[in-house]
Structure 1
């Protein structure tokens, strides 16, 4: 057998010998495949046998997820001036299962038609909720409002993605969706921050809680509302001493844009003793033309002082003419002093109620009550009585001096460093008119016998 194998191996074939053998081999192969080819031509498509199961490695849970932090810039409406943010979940699925899914979850939903909305708003007890919306619908909405949108893809592990997804699904259930809203401590941005920090094991809090910033709740609020000067001034008057607390970087994240900036620099463990950026990639989805975020809070003290001095000069001129006996000037003085006193008194009532009976913690301990307080309401009645008819002059003088003294006290608290409230611009606005009213009443009644009612 060995010799036979050697003889076969050593045999040389000519080309004309190989060609007939190829024909024979091809004919045998064709004969073997012929039944299959014939049956394939006559079998209907519906009778095709499905392919067998593929031997594939199952994907790790979470590998199909991409989670992105969306940050929406400032807008036109009052509630849009602080920005917004959300978590965008992209689920990769094959076409056979319906294709990719994109849902955006946010914690900034409120319903003005809910029962007792206005009373709850005034009391500081508003209910907000969270929910999910289609990604394209969300982007279309912000495009129509000309608001910028940034997208930061988070470099989370698959396990962290699953944990965050499960938490958001649990949170979106009707029994879990509502929460007690606080505009600084518990809002749409702090909820997003805490959801991310939950799966990171507290890295955000640990990294940024000890870092002090130069901002306060008041300064950040005025920075973002300064384009509406009357609104910003009203907020400035309504905020008390707690709003002047110097913020940590962690507390600053009550603003979506600050959360975006700090997340951008955050590094987390890579599981191998090193660190990696939390943000895998960043891009701007939408730009804006009309709504650009202000960079710094306004410095209104010189402007407010100018306005206050101009009002004071007007009060002094009218009061001086009234003291000289001009009937028209007396009526004008009575009307002007009464209008100012009524406005200051009603503002004082609001400030007192905010402090005394509401849960607006950041309106408590408000030193602006030294400038605007309910005592002014008494002067709103007394001022025209004294200016026009000369009645109750002594009582009117006493009230004007008391109110002016309270204004001076507010100034002295700042001058001596005893005040921790940043309200110098409000003092600059209110104190000059207060002093002018006191001077005008003293000048008009100080040299004439008072006719008591």
Structure 2
């Protein structure tokens, strides 16, 4: 309803004006940024960050703002579906400083604090923005949250942007040079011990994840934000708590070995059927259904998701949901279809070689290429 929406905007504007007036009338706060290391849970793997306004003369007003709040207790299917669609609702929660620290210490996550040297008017600008965001993103209703994106809009990038705006670009100035690493590679570091994620990422995570990361981009990671704040604000991290458990995972399998096995699994039925000169129809059903399921999943994610990493996927050229047709078509049409598939796959391979295709699809290509080559140029005279 336009009237209700307009009233809500007016209320939020008045709140921001009132908050700004109150903040301007009192001493400027000290701004502390807390970064937390990895935890054991899946959603703790990449760390966390929070930002706090500290009033030494009035500790009751000191508080921390957490942009990484969502309903982690909701059913995994619901939370996972909203994440896949690019619509994960996140909001700002406000914590007493000591309580926030206790939560992460209890979770045995390393905690660092950095005190940011800002001019009084800059610190007030940060506090005003934090109060306004806490009022706007309160988790109540669809307009009370922002759409989380792991790389572009998360609990850490929000803090980065606020500090950069208030300081006149301290974090963004000359921060666009490539670090020689991609979002995909950085993402794999925190999940490398989860083989299934590594394997699935090769197929379902698209070319947006292969863009090279700049210093600015890298600040989606709390550890990178901590390093940039130290370098650009001369704010040395103070270790509040050091993790007592095993160190966080930073390496593991790439999943490529499993892709080779799956390529063998799609080739084996048809290859054996040709060799034995029997059971070809069943073999084609098995191979076609396996390839079609992958194709249907890749194409469906591209259609329903608003995340660039899932929508713009060069694997759409590799996996087609129509491969089940090889089991139904007559030999002539089957060979024609397979030759078309081989032609497209070889074009993707050329694209990889010349740098037009950016995703790491070299081994992925073999999954449909091997059986399609066999079907396209199998010896004549055997039953189809």
Whether contact under 8 Å (1:315, 1:440) holds in the other structure is no
Q: CA RMSD, aligned part only?
A: 3.3
Structure 2 partner of 1:372: 319
State the secondary structure of the residue aligned to 1:266.
Answer: helix
Question: Does 1:76 find its partner at 2:76?
Answer: no
For 1:289, which of 245, 256, 260 is the aligned residue? 245
Query: Which one of the candidate residues 86, 103, 106 is aligned to 2:66?
Result: 106
CA distance in 2, matches of 1:146, 1:342: 46
Is 1:408 the counterpart of 2:346 in the alignment? yes
Q: Does 1:256 align with 2:222?
A: yes
Tell me, what secondary structure is at the counterpart of 1:254?
coil
Q: SS state of the match for residue 214, structure 1? A: strand
Matched with 1:131 is 93
**Paired position in structure 1 for 2:382:** 448
- 8 Å Cα contact 1:216/1:245 also seen in 2: yes
Q: 1:71 offset after TM fit, Å?
A: 1.1
Q: 2:294 aligned to 347, 354, 366, which one?
A: 347
Choose the corresponding residue for 2:162, options 195, 204, 227: 195
Which of 55, 71, 87 is the aligned partner of 2:51? 87
- Equivalent residue number for residue 356 of structure 2: 418
Structure ID, larger Rg: 1
Q: Cα–Cα, structure 1 residues 182 and 397, in superposed 2: closer, same or farther, change >3 Å?
A: same
Structure 1 436/131 Cα, relative in aligned 2: closer, same or farther at 3 Å? Answer: same
Asked if the contact 2:193–2:253 (Cα under 8 Å) also holds between the matched residues in 1, the reply is no
TM superposition shift of 1:232: 2.5
Asked whether the equivalents of residues 271 and 374 of structure 2 are also in contact (C-alpha less than 8 Å), the reply is no
For the pair 1:334 / 2:282, whether they are aligned, the reply is yes
Q: CA deviation at 1:197?
A: 1.3
* In structure 2, C-alpha distance between the alignment counterparts of 1:134 and 1:406, rounded to whole Å: 58
Q: State the match for 2:150 in structure 1.
A: 183
Instruction: Find the aligned partners of 2:342 and 2:108 in 1 and give their Cα distance.
Output: 47
TM-score, normalization by structure 1: 0.68
Q: Distance in 1 between matches of 2:137 and 2:352?
A: 48
Residues 395 and 291 (structure 1), Cα distance of their counterparts in 2 relative to 1, 3 Å cut: farther
**Aligned counterpart in structure 2 of residue 243 of structure 1, from 176, 200, 209:** 209
Are the counterparts in 2 of residues 315 and 433 from structure 1 also a CA contact under 8 Å? no
> In 2, are the aligned partners of 1:123 and 1:358 still within 8 Å (CA)?
yes
Could you list the runs of 5+ residues in structure 2 that have no partner in the other structure? 1-24, 139-143
Deviates more, 1:168-177 or 1:220-229: 168-177
Cα distance between partner residues in 2 of 1:340 and 1:264: 54
Q: CA offset at residue 298 of structure 1?
A: 6.2
CA shift, 1:228, in A, is 0.9
| SS of residue in 1 equivalent to 2:171 | helix
CA distance in structure 1 between the partners assigned to 2:325 and 2:107 by the alignment: 47
| CA shift in 2, pair 1:316/1:345, >3 Å | closer
Corresponding residue number in structure 2 for 1:166: 128
How far did residue 259 of structure 1 move?
Answer: 0.9
How many Å apart are 1:101 and its aligned residue? Answer: 5.6
1:123, 1:359 within 8 Å by CA — same for their partners in 2?
yes
Q: Which protein has greater RCO, CA pairs closer than 8 Å, 6+ apart? A: 2
Aligned runs of 1:292-311 on 2, under 5 Å? 292-294=248-250, 301=256, 303=257, 306-307=260-261, 310-311=264-265
